[in-house]
Amino acid sequence: MSADRTQESKKHWEKHPRYKSGDAPSARAFADPKLERVCRKLGLTGSETVLDVGAGTGHLSAAWTRRGHPVTALDWADAMILRNPAPRRLRGDAARLPFADNSFDVVAEASLLHHVPDPVAVLQEMARVASGPIVVVEPNRNHPPMFLFSLLLREEWPALRFTAGHVRRLAKQAGLVEQSLETSGWVYQNKTPSALAGWLGRWDTPCPGAAYIVGAFEER
């Protein structure tokens, strides 16, 4: 990504007013079922410290907090991180995380990798500061509405590469080992009407062609 393209992307996120808060019904229905399954598979108890990278307005941060985890949220856009509900939040670059090695039990992201110039480098940074699993949530190109959304919005074009196989390859290039990988979810955290979010959230189970890729990885 060129310097001009990076600046354009930054301006895009700084001026974004339409992202819902982490406690909105659609954000809850998007995040809670996914984390419930991830935590069950990984045996997380709720006491583990979590770093939410590219945390935005806090869809994932709020969900981790609801499960009892101490959460630190990081995002490079002031307009986003100021709306994040995490008590510990800071502005920073996902490719140069301002933390020592093994600073957090879990490091997670949602809809970040398809927006960064080098997703492998970001995964490696996430692994560096994690003493435990790395959790990723990314859009699934093979979900028809997600494909159309990604096609129509320039900032989302990189998501057109993202399938479960693509995430698996990125993780492998970053030197990570897969713990779990699935596609799930029918709730779009910023688009699904509140009246439908709860109902659709109950159907958030692993399914081919669902809207999101949810993976957990660890260092080799």
Sorted by where each begins, the domain ranges of the chain are: 3-16+24-219
Residue range 24-80, pLDDT digits in tens:
999 999 999 999 999 999 999 999 999 999 999 999 999 999 999 999 999 999 989
φ and ψ of 216, to 5 deg: -130, 135
Average pLDDT across the chain, whole number = 92
- Using alpha carbons, select from 189, 205, 177, 193 the residue that is nearest to residue 55: 189
Measured distance CA(184)–CA(30) in Å, rounded:
10
Contact present, 107 and 129 (Cβ < 8 Å): yes
Q: What is the pLDDT of residue 6?
A: 44
- pTM to 2 decimal places: 0.91
Which backbone phi and psi does 172 adopt, to 5 degrees?
Answer: -65, -45
Work out the widest C-alpha separation in the chain, in whole angstroms. Answer: 44
Question: 2-11, 12-21, 139-148: which range is least confident on average?
Answer: 2-11
Q: What CATH architecture does domain 3-16+24-219 belong to?
A: 3-Layer(aba) Sandwich (3.40)
